[in-house]
A and B are shown apart, each in its own frame.
Chain A
Amino acid sequence: MPPLDNQHHDQFLRLFAEHEAALHTLLRSMLPSREDAKEALQETIIVLWQKFDEFDPARDFRAWASGIARNKALAVLRDRKRDRHVFDEALVNRLADRAALQEQCVITRREVLEGCLQKLPATQRELVLSAYTKGTRMDDLAARRGQTPMSLYKLLHRIRIALLDCVERSLATEEAR
């Protein structure tokens, strides 16, 4: 077992920091809500740290961590297997497989997204960030804006689609260079 020292701690933090976004995205693709994904991520962190002694530095940290995250997500889903509003395990595994193939792109996509957010009109950018701020209730936000929840939802949907389109276009432009 490696000594429990600052160097060991730092090594873990560096690796985790590097791959956290991909792990979070993987969990979000497997789980039906943001809260589930966050909780699973935090439980994953604990397991990763507990097992970090067993991790061989010669191995791929992301693959090792993704395996643990995936097991966490599947455990959450098994607790919810009676819930008919949630995808079955077969599909979730399939989505996780595809996410694993694409996870190298997550950081790039995030960087591109940041640029796309800046391209949005300020009012839309503020709205979408308000909607995603922790604790925001859509009905409250709609009321504050003098909108119905449905019209707010439609507006947010259009903004999200615009952001997705922007990311895809930007990536395509990059590849064409």
Chain B
Amino acid sequence: MNTDWNDLIQRYIDGQTSQIETRRLQAALKADDALADLYLRHTELDVALEAEAASAEVTRELLSAPMASATSRGGHWLSWRPLTAAAAIVVFGLLVFGSSRRGVKVEVVQTSGAISGDWVLGHKARLNHVTLVRGSMRMRLTSGVMLDVTAPVEMQLLDGMHVRVLSGRVTADVGKNGKGFVIETPQARVVDLGTRFGVDASDAAQTSVLVFQGQVEVYEKGSEQRVALLNTGEGLRLDNNRRASRIVSVSGTDGPNGWTANAPPASSALISAVYDSMAANDEAAKKWPSLRNFYRIVPGGLCDGALAFSDVADEWSNVPAHLAGADQVRTFAVDGFNWFMKLTLNISRPVELFVFVDQRNPVPEWVRTDFTDSGETITLNFKPPQWQGRVAQRLPYSVWKRIVRTPGEVTLGAPYANPPADKKSFNPNRMFGVAAKALP
């Protein structure tokens, strides 16, 4: 009988041989060293292809390593034994699978407190696949691109300029040399044009893209069709049905990856949501299909030097002492909507609500009606792009206040009552600022 040994071996390692075939192969392998070597080549190929297919011959599992806090290995480790095999891997903090593909050189430059074990910091490795189970970290790729990743996240590093986020939230700071950096998600391909931007693929059905500084192009996954060109302070969601929609508000701090577009702010946040009249309902949204600006809710974020708006570099300074640490809403500064829009805040607990109004312009009627002038001022450090980070003007804003005792929606009006006949008289045409302090 002329046996195809390759076929028989392959079927054995695939678990497809009958008892008779298994016995026949066994006898042959015992009798023939060359055949035994062929068998070993097949098993070797099987392991290697599995590793290649997973794109994970170097896999890192970073976690708050139990060993870092353990005082004795035995007891602590034994407690992990009932875990599944996969979880047992995580115990080690770092494991390397396979080693055929070399991976992308990365350096871990910052970790959150949740990832204990100093060994993570400064660690350099070649990685293809990153799975972060707990905590946050900042990693530098060979291209100089910095990635902030927050667990749970899973991504593939295709090369120093190309990352595939399978799930989770990642912020990229591409620096000067990273133009052209690409993040892929299940729904989108985001091409950086020199910027800091975030991608959230935590929800399997959609991807959120937010630009914190600079500009990105967003494409549908697998298509050359550009969905949008997003600038600072703009974002969009792209779902599995290729529908793009505006992200109206984002919450979280300015810390690494401190933002979220898919979850409500922390339960302690005084303002839980913000939306404007252009996003009040589907009809309104249809009227403004190109509007991509987002509001940013920053719990505890008001302080000297805090960004005032989501889309420009202006900052607040001379913050009154009692307002330091107030929850802040960064509105956006674009001027096309300032005379007719309405802004609705969802207040989650009794607060003192503040709005900051440019003193050079008439005070809007709704401010006069619903708020009281506190007599205080806050300064807007006006930093137009052409001044490249320097302050062009220091503009006094009046602080108006109002007590909101009943949680619920509070609607604010437009910064200006009428369309400006002469835009110059409203220069710089910024929106108002918003802050809230909890009532004692």
A interface residue numbers (CB < 8 A to B): 4, 6, 9-10, 13, 16-17, 20-21, 24-25, 28-29, 32-34, 37-39, 42-43, 45-46, 49-50, 53, 84-88, 90-91, 94-95, 98-99, 102, 106-107, 109-111, 113-114, 117, 128-134, 157, 160-161, 163-164, 167-168
CA distance A60 to B46 in the complex (A): 26
Is the pair B39, A95 in contact by a Cβ cutoff of 8 Å?
A: yes
Q: Which residues of A contact B86 (CB under 8 A)?
A: 42
CA distance A66 to B15 in the complex (A): 24
Q: Which residues of B contact A133 (CB under 8 A)?
A: 53-54
Q: Jot down 23 A-B pairs with beta carbons below 8 A, ordered by A.
A: A4-B70, A6-B118, A9-B117, A9-B119, A13-B92, A13-B95, A21-B47, A21-B51, A24-B98, A25-B43, A32-B12, A43-B88, A46-B81, A50-B73, A84-B22, A85-B15, A85-B17, A110-B99, A110-B100, A132-B53, A134-B54, A160-B42, A167-B45
Q: In chain B between 59 and 100, which residues have their CB closer than 8 angstroms to a CB of chain A?
A: 65, 67-68, 70-74, 77, 80-81, 85-86, 88-89, 91-100
CB of B287 within 8 Å of the partner chain:
no
CB of B37 within 8 Å of the partner chain:
yes
Q: A32-B13, A85-B15, A109-B44 are in contact. Are A91 and B30 (CB under 8 A)?
A: yes
CA distance A163 to B100 in the complex (A): 14
Number of interface residues of B (CB under 8 A): 63
Is the pair A50, B37 in contact by a Cβ cutoff of 8 Å?
A: no
- Give B87 Cβ to nearest chain A Cβ, in Å: 9
Is the pair B45, A98 in contact by a Cβ cutoff of 8 Å?
A: no
B interface residue numbers (CB < 8 A to A): 6-7, 10, 12-13, 15, 17-19, 22-23, 26, 29-30, 33, 36-37, 39-54, 57, 65, 67-68, 70-74, 77, 80-81, 85-86, 88-89, 91-101, 117-119
Q: Which residues of B contact A167 (CB under 8 A)?
A: 41, 45
CA distance A133 to B55 in the complex (A): 9
Partner of B43, one of A16, A29, A42, A117: A29
Q: A33-B15, A95-B40, A157-B6 are in contact. Are A28 and B99 (CB under 8 A)?
A: no
Partner of B92, one of A49, A87, A117, A161: A49
For the A-B complex with A6-B119, A132-B50 known, give 19 more contacts whose Cβ atoms are closer than 8 Å.
A6-B118, A13-B96, A24-B97, A25-B43, A29-B39, A42-B86, A43-B85, A46-B77, A46-B81, A85-B18, A114-B52, A117-B52, A129-B53, A132-B52, A133-B54, A157-B7, A164-B45, A167-B41, A167-B45
Closest to A168 in B: B41
Is the pair A91, B22 in contact by a Cβ cutoff of 8 Å?
A: no
CA distance A91 to B314 in the complex (A): 74
- In this complex, the member of B12, B15, B22, B100 whose beta carbon has the largest number of chain A beta carbons within 10 angstroms is B100
